[in-house]
Structures are given as C-alpha cells and as structure tokens.
Amino acid sequence: MSDEIYDFTIIGAGPTGLFGAFYAGLRSLKTKVIEALPEPGGQLAVLYPEKMIYDVPGHPHVMARDLVKLLMEQNERFDPDYVYNESVETLTRDESGDEPVWVLGTPRGEHRTRALLISAGIGAFAPNKLDRPGVAKYEGNGVYYFVQDRRPFRHKRVLIVGGGDTAVDWCLNLRDWADEITLIHRREQFRAHESSLTELRLAEIPMLTHWELAEVSGNSVVERARIVQNQTDETRDLDVDIVLLSLGFKASLGPMLDWGLELADQRHIRVDGFMETNLPGVFAAGDIAAVEGSEPLSLIVTGFGQAAIAANAAVKHISPESKLFPGHSSDLRL
C-alpha cells in the first residue's frame, strides 16, 4: 500500500484484467492489478483450471490453467504490480490534490489511480454449500466444491452431486482418472447440455436421479457417503473417497452496487463503446460489462477485446492529446 498514484488500476485478475494489464503496459501506463483471491485467473483458476478451452484465437486447445500462466508470462514484459487477497470495497473521488484521482478502498487500505478498469467478472463468487452431517468436517479433505487440482482424484472412488454442466463435465473429465464415479442428482431433469449427457450415458457412468446426499462419514479421511432417495426415503451407503459437490455458485457485485455506477441489471455495469461507465475514467470489461445497445457475451475472447479498448481509451482519458490507436505491436521494438 502506498500513496503513489497509478495511471491504471484493474479490479480483478481474470483473463480480462490480465490482458488489460498487458495493453496498459504496452501504452506505458503505470498499472496495478488488485485481486480478491490469492491467485490470478478468475473463473479459469477457480472453476475449471483443468478443463480444455477451444475458442481462444491461436490456440486450437489450451487448458484453462495454462492460459492463465501464458497471460502472466505475457505480462512479464511490462511487469505490472499485482496485489492479491484484497477485495475492493469502495470507490470514491478525491479532488483535493493537484489532480483528481479515484480512490479504491480495501480492508487493508487505499489505492489511488487516474483511471481504472473493473474486470470483476461475476463479482466475488462463492459455491452454494450443502449443510449435511460430515460435509463441513471433511471440506478440503475429501469433500470439495470445485476441482482446483485433479491429483487428489487419481484412482479414487468419487461421488459427484449435481445436475448442471459442471457436475456432468467433471464426471466426463475424471472418468479415466478416478477409479469409480457415481453421479447423483435430486431431480429427474439435468440442466447440463444434452450432448454431455449422451456422452455420460455412453461412458456408462452411474447416474442416480432423485437421490440426495444425506451424510459423509469416515475416520481421518472420507470413507463413505449415505445417500437418500427423495421419493421413497430409501437410503444407501456408498464406499467413496471423495465427494464433489457441484451445486452452482452465488455471485454478487456486492459493494460495487453502491459505487454510483449505472447498471444494466444486478450483474452488469453499463458501458459505452469505449467501455467507459457513467463515471469518468472508470472503465468496465469482460463478464461484468454490458455495452449499450448490445447484450453481454460472457466469453474470454470478448473480455480480451474489451480490455484492449478500455486500456487504450484510458490513455486518452489521462492524456486527451494521445491517440486511441496504440500502433501495431509488431512495429514496436520491445
């Protein structure tokens, strides 16, 4: 923490924020990235680090974790400052000094900046938790809400709970890695894509509908899960090593709703074609942004393009005589 004024401060180190930092560096802006989590990557790092992504230009396929690594490597050229484990909670304007600045408040202090990019994705997100005996006791040690590392699942008997894409995708992703997988879902209908469900049926992974998790038990590690049929109350004990609860996420813009930003809805900040919000010098990009006259397209590639626009528009905000167009990076001697 310091009183130093940065040119460009980025809230959120997901793919949008990371690429925004690169472009800001290319435009010689002194840049800082503030991230609430202990690591960069946003949804890629937290929700699906080991999944393959197929729609990033120039990468026929790239694992989410590797894309984050590559973005960080690309940023080394301009070396922005990263601040982790700090959630930005307030945004105020300080006009008392020689130049007006934005002040970002976190539980640890303040960060001052001439312009900023809000690339906070779906906001601070947390998994929907399940309150059943044994679940809290083994959380992080046999009971997981997301897969950050596939290694603990190797040769294990895994019970996956949920009916959405994430639950089904993990069944498919872990099928050749774990020894046994069982999927339970409390309803008849799955929310997952039909093509994934077909793949799941072909893989002959047991899918039990109308079954719910009742209890997790064991000694120092998980040894079994009790499940209950919610129409008949029949119970079964399954010998398992891991329970993966894939019950969706709650996300909220939380404190950002009180920053005076014009919102498109409770999850999106309204921006113009330059990705600027109604507050001067405050830009938004990626999953959190809704461009006037359009509809959010929550994809990595959208965030990349929007972050580049926002960083270049921030240059013009800070120095109105500057050009929006940065020149071609291939012309630069870096």
Ligand X SMILES: Cc1cc2nc3c(=O)[nH]c(=O)nc-3n(C[C@H](O)[C@H](O)[C@H](O)COP(=O)(O)OP(=O)(O)OC[C@H]3O[C@@H](n4cnc5c(N)ncnc54)[C@H](O)[C@@H]3O)c2cc1C
Which residues here bind ligand X, judged by CB under 6 A? 11-17, 34-37, 42-44, 47-48, 53, 55, 87-88, 119-124, 166, 286-287, 298-301, 303
What is the distance between the alpha carbons of residues 21 and 33, in angstroms, rounded to a whole number?
A: 7
Contact 252, 240 (CB under 8 A): no
Give 42 or 281: the residue with its C-beta nearer to ligand X: 42
Would you say 25 or 123 has its CB closer to ligand X?
Answer: 123
Nearest residue to ligand X by CB is 121
Q: Give the Cα separation of 215 and 133 in Å (integer).
A: 5
Report in angstroms how near the CB of residue 147 gets to ligand X at its nearest. Answer: 10
Minimum distance of ligand X from residue 132's CB (angstroms): 24
How near is the Cβ of 202 to ligand X at its closest, in Å?
A: 21
CB of 75 or CB of 166, closer to ligand X: 166
CA separation for the pair 94, 102 (Å, rounded): 6
Are 42 and 17 contacting, i.e. CB atoms less than 8 angstroms apart? yes
**108 or 137: CB nearest ligand X:** 108
Closest CB to ligand X among residues 36, 181: 36
Quick check: 54 and 61 in contact, CB under 8 A? yes
Lookup: tokens for 305: 């393009």
CA-nearest of 93, 33, 102, 44 to 311 is: 33
* Interatomic CA distance for residues 329 and 55, integer angstroms: 23
C-alpha 211/C-alpha 235 separation (Å) is 9
Cβ-based nearer residue to ligand X, 121 or 134: 121
- Number of neighbouring beta carbons within 10 Å of residue 49: 21
CB contact burial 67-101 (16+ within 10 A = b; e otherwise): bbeebbeebeebebebbeebbbbebeeeeeeeeeb
For ligand X, give the closer residue by CB, 13 or 178.
13
